């Protein structure tokens, strides 16, 4: 099974995209840190191996997982039906929403509803559920970025009407940019889970789920800790 291979290698390889605070972002030392990284460290500890974090583009994570480049994905990854065709998900460990960021001054999108986004120019992170959501909005021009942080900068610079991104990253972007604000209304409700290659890692999944259960009581404090940074 997957666990035997991980123990033999002495290493658990996490695939992530460290552009998504507070779940994963680059810390002061330029190393990936965040809620998912701390959970991943606990999983490695449970297995008695070292954790290796591979930071890559978000849209490459599932292909890399299925190409054998890592043991699991932890990336604030939303459970979707399409992704369920190619990976096995762990238990859910967080609930999130897609939210709308606009400029405080003269916002170009009036509220966080589909109708208000119609015909607008909206930034998203490539391959995310925000990207998927916007692809179905009538007449919208969707600009796909490598990270929502970059999209936030383009919004502040007047190149976009709005950015659609998950709740806590949205709040983090706004907290770090005085020119931006986020509407309270939400476009979707989503569940985050970790992912392993389909049908090959039942034993690893069991350990991931055990750690998620063990950590469930600390999750709020852990999230708060990384949000405050």
- Interface residues toward ligand ARG, by CB under 6 A: 16-17, 19-20, 24, 58, 75-78, 125, 128-129, 166
Please report how close the Cβ of residue 83 comes to ligand ARG at its closest, in angstroms.
Answer: 8
Helix (H) or strand (E) holding 94: strand 94-96
The smaller minimum CB distance to ligand ARG, of residues 17 and 90, is found at 17
- Per the CB < 8 A criterion, the answer to whether 90 and 79 are in contact is no
Distance, CA of 210 to chain centre: 21
Closer to ligand ARG by CB, 129 or 172: give it. Answer: 129
- Shortest CB 43 distance to ligand ARG, Å: 17
Minimum distance of ligand ARG from residue 49's CB (angstroms): 23
Count of alpha carbons within 13 Å of 127, Cβ hemisphere only? 15
Give whichever of 18 and 211 is closer to ligand ARG, judged by the CB atom: 18
What is the residue whose two structure tokens read 């942080």? 149
Least distance from ligand ARG to the Cβ atom of residue 106, Å: 28
Q: How far is the CB of 80 from ligand ARG (least distance, A)?
A: 7
* 151's tokens: 């999209």
d(C-alpha 55, C-alpha 21), whole Å: 14
Integer Rg of the chain from CA:
18
Between the alpha carbon of residue 206 and those of residues 88, 202, 229, the distances in Å are 11, 6, 31
Identify which of residues 17 and 103 has a Cβ nearer to ligand ARG in the complex.
Answer: 17
Query: Which of 3, 133 has the CB closer to ligand ARG?
Result: 133
């Amino acid at each position: 099974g997957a666990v035997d291979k991980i123990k033999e290698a002495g290493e658990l390889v996490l695939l992530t995209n460290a552009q998504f605070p507070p779940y994963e972002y680059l810390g002061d030392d330029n190393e990936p840190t965040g809620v998912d990284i701390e959970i991943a460290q606990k999983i490695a500890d449970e297995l008695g191996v070292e954790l290796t974090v591979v930071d890559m583009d978000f849209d490459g994570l599932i292909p890399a997982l299925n190409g054998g480049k890592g043991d699991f994905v932890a990336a604030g990854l939303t459970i979707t039906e399409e992704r369920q065709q190619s990976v096995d998900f762990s238990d859910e460990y967080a609930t999130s929403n897609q939210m709308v960021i606009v400029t405080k001054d003269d916002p170009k999108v009036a509220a966080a509803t589909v109708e208000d986004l119609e015909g607008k120019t909206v930034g998203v992170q490539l391959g995310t559920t925000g990207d998927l959501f916007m692809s179905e909005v009538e007449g919208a021009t969707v600009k796909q970025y490598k990270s929502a942080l970059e999209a936030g900068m383009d919004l502040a610079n007047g190149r976009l009407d709005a950015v659609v991104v998950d709740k806590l990253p949205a709040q983090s972007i706004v907290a770090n940019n005085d020119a931006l604000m986020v509407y309270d209304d939400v476009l979707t409700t989503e569940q985050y889970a970790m992912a392993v290659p389909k049908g090959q890692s039942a034993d690893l999944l069991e350990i991931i789920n055990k750690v998620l259960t063990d950590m469930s009581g600390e999750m709020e404090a852990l999230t708060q800790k990384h949000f405050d940074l």
